[in-house]
Structure 1
Amino acid sequence: MRKVIIVISGLVIIGLGVWINGMLANSKKEPEKKTQHKVNSVYVETAKNEAVPVTIGTSGSVLAKDRMEIFAEVTGVFESGSKAFKAGTSFPAGSTLIRINDDEFRASVVSQRAAFKNTITAILADIRFDYPNSFSMWNDYLNSIDIEKNLPSLPKAKTDQEAHYITGKNISSTYYSIKNLETRLSKYRITAPYSGVLVSAEVTPGTLVSPGQKLGEFIKPGVYELELNVNSTLKDLLVLGKEVNLTNIDKSKSWVGKVARINPQVNTSSQTVQIFVEVKAKDLNQGEFVEADIDAQDVVNAIEVPRSLLVNNESVYVVENNQLRLLPIKVVYSKENSVIIQGVEDGAKLLSKPFPGAFEGMNVTIIE
């Protein structure tokens, strides 16, 4: 019995302790939580619009301004000339670049000239009798004909009747037929239109060439053109005559050229326009790859900002009344790390450093 009383008393004491502890815990009041408003600090700069210079960077290969691809227009055996027809050979202006054997065709032309001379001889008696005032003119023309050379120009008839007589004797038609043959005969010999260098040779002496066959390429060194493709949105910034700074790949050489031509047509697939830069340099070579920096027109009423400040490439953040606001802008030109934009008013507080998690309406304080 005594043990039972002791156990019951212990349980009662434990229960009272638990009850008292609960009462004390419930009597404690939780401290009031104070609402905190987080304010973010941002860096800004005061916008000031001005004329921002634009330098367009691009690259390409230079080609001689005066160059020609040489094609055969007649059939024959290619013959060697006074100089070897090989790449790297220089030719002065007027010298023979290519000679194609013309023995057979030349003989045919000489025969036609001789026949024409005989025709003129045959009509002299009629001209002396019917057109005495023109006899000396036609006689002099006959004596001027050399069957080994191109025919001289036909005399001009003094009367309509004389002209009709000459036409009736097929003098005019025969003359122009021979002149056509002479033009074709000249195609057996191709001369250098200017002093230059042969940069490619596709045939060797003894080769039978055919019309339309490429024989080589001839250039005039010293004046080169660089064809560049520039984004069409920048077309209005390009001006004829603008200087262009050129450098080779390893930056060991530099040259200055000028914008010579601008093609207004936009490439439909790449949305670019072609510009052609002319540069005079003795140490440039056909096909050499160069990098170009084009000083285009300045963009007026614009500012340049880091590319990281753009939001969806169409707006930037400004601070108004200690809150962020998205301001729509126009991107005029993009560089590697920055952009030139328009649409920001002078005096606007423009974010100068990107702020992670920024959103329109965010409360901010400006760091001076």
Structure 2
Amino acid sequence: MRKIILSVIGVLVIIGSILLAKSLIASKNKPKPVLEKVVKTVFIDTVKNGQIQIEIPGNGSLVAKRRVEIYSEVQGIFKTSNVLFKPGQKYNAGQSLINLDASEYYATVQSAKSNLYNAIAAIMPDLRLDFPEIYQKWQNYLNAFDLSKSAPQLPEMSSEKENYFITGRGIVSSYYNLKNLEQRLAKYTIRAPFTGILTEALVTEGTFIRNGQKLGEFIDPSEYEMEVAISKSFASLLKVGEEVQLTNMDKTNTYIGKISRVNGSIDQATQTITTYIDVKDPNLKEGLYLEANIKGETVEDAIEIDRNLLLEDNQIFILTNGMLNAISVTPVYFSDTKVVLKEVPNGTIILKRPVPGAYVGMLVKPFDASANQ
């Protein structure tokens, strides 16, 4: 009985082995699955060479083209006036900004003026006797002499004798001493050099002002200047008188300025050249930050693309027969986001947007906007 059971088990093992072998042979003959090739969709553009206007970016803050720091050359008490000396106050050209109390110094000037008048009056009898031909000239000078006004210029000397006589009496030295005092007296009143606005006031009425003390700042708000640092590589593109488009940081307002000056030297530390742009607009204020687009030269037969489409070895991807290829190009200008290229044949199909992981020979297909509608 035992032999029969072992014989049956042996037959079953042999049959199972045969079936397993047939199954393995059948599985080897099955065809391998074909992997579907992935074809990426890309955005493309067709090259059309033309004129590209190069724009050089820059930025800076506005500064009044005409500004004056107000200092005192004399000392005295700041007298009150009808117009308060406060920031934002407007003044016309020649209008008094600050009046210092000059009563004591005014008396000194009047004393010197009186001394000059007396010195001339004392020589009049001698002039009548010894120099009758010039007597009337000096008499007319005395008649025009007004102690309440600035001393008139001395009559012109007509002869050497007259010069010696007048100079010997100390009249010429007294006259110039008086004019020196009058010049200093005028400094007790500080006037606006031009029509403008006060932007800084460091003193108030009643303050004792000292010689050399800074009193404030005064600007002309009708014209501003912006200083822009431009890379030295663009120095040849900067032209005095060229119009420049200026925009504020919010891109809400646009202004037109002009290049007024270009520095003749390059900053050794930054390797930039300083350019000055003039701009006029009633809405502008000093200190406003603006961005400038300076027009440079016009490049013929060129295209402009995004900088991230340019490969490291000055190549760009093109589309030929459904796959990517690369061609060499010549970059002529780089901005922050764009690059201007030459030597790209017309009609060449190039990428409009970068493709992650792109390589030469990669299968791609152009994006069809009509298929998604």
TM-score range, shorter chain: 0.7 to 0.9
In structure 2, the residue corresponding to 1:296 is in which secondary structure?
strand
- Residue 342 (structure 2) aligns with: 343
Conserved? CA contact 1:46–1:346, under 8 Å: no
- Residue 83 (structure 1) aligns with: 83
* Distance (whole Å) between structure 1 residues aligned to residue 116 and residue 330 of structure 2: 80
- Residue 279 (structure 1) aligns with: 280
Structure 1 range deviating more: 139-148 or 101-110 = 139-148
1:145-174 CA-to-partner distances (Å, cap 9, x unmatched) read 333322212222123443344444444333
* Distance (whole Å) between structure 2 residues aligned to residue 102 and residue 248 of structure 1: 49
Conserved? CA contact 2:85–2:97, under 8 Å: yes
In structure 2, the residue corresponding to 1:229 is in which secondary structure?
strand
* Distance (whole Å) between structure 1 residues aligned to residue 165 and residue 314 of structure 2: 82
- Residue 100 (structure 1) aligns with: 100
Shift, 1:99, TM fit: 0.5
RMSD of aligned Cα (Å): 4.4
1:175-207 CA-to-partner distances (Å, cap 9, x unmatched) read 233222221111100122344433332212221
- Residue 213 (structure 2) aligns with: 213
Conserved? CA contact 1:247–1:290, under 8 Å: yes
Closer/same/farther in 2, CA of residues 229 and 314 from structure 1, 3 Å limit: farther
Conserved? CA contact 2:332–2:341, under 8 Å: yes
Confirm or deny that 1:244 pairs with 2:228.
no
- Residue 136 (structure 2) aligns with: 136
Closer/same/farther in 2, CA of residues 103 and 49 from structure 1, 3 Å limit: same
* Distance (whole Å) between structure 2 residues aligned to residue 98 and residue 343 of structure 1: 64
- Residue 178 (structure 1) aligns with: 178
In structure 1, the residue corresponding to 2:110 is in which secondary structure?
helix
Confirm or deny that 1:269 pairs with 2:267.
no
Q: Could you state the TM-score of these two structures normalised by the residue count of structure 1?
A: 0.74
Conserved? CA contact 1:55–1:293, under 8 Å: no
Shift, 1:306, TM fit: 1.4
Conserved? CA contact 1:60–1:226, under 8 Å: no
1:5-39 CA-to-partner distances (Å, cap 9, x unmatched) read x999x99x999x99xx99xx99x99x9xxxxx999
- Residue 371 (structure 2) aligns with: none
Shift, 1:317, TM fit: 4.3
Conserved? CA contact 1:244–1:277, under 8 Å: no
Alignment of 1:44-55 (within 5 A): 45-54=45-54
Alignment of 1:3-152 (within 5 A): 45-54=45-54, 60-152=60-152
* Distance (whole Å) between structure 2 residues aligned to residue 182 and residue 123 of structure 1: 24
Conserved? CA contact 1:99–1:190, under 8 Å: yes
Alignment identity in percent? 30
In structure 1, the residue corresponding to 2:73 is in which secondary structure?
coil
* Distance (whole Å) between structure 1 residues aligned to residue 38 and residue 88 of structure 2: 76
* Distance (whole Å) between structure 2 residues aligned to residue 117 and residue 240 of structure 1: 57
- Residue 258 (structure 2) aligns with: 259
Shift, 1:75, TM fit: 1.2
In structure 1, the residue corresponding to 2:48 is in which secondary structure?
coil
Shift, 1:116, TM fit: 2.1
The amino acid of 2:330's aligned partner reads I
The amino acid of 2:285's aligned partner reads Q
Conserved? CA contact 2:238–2:262, under 8 Å: no
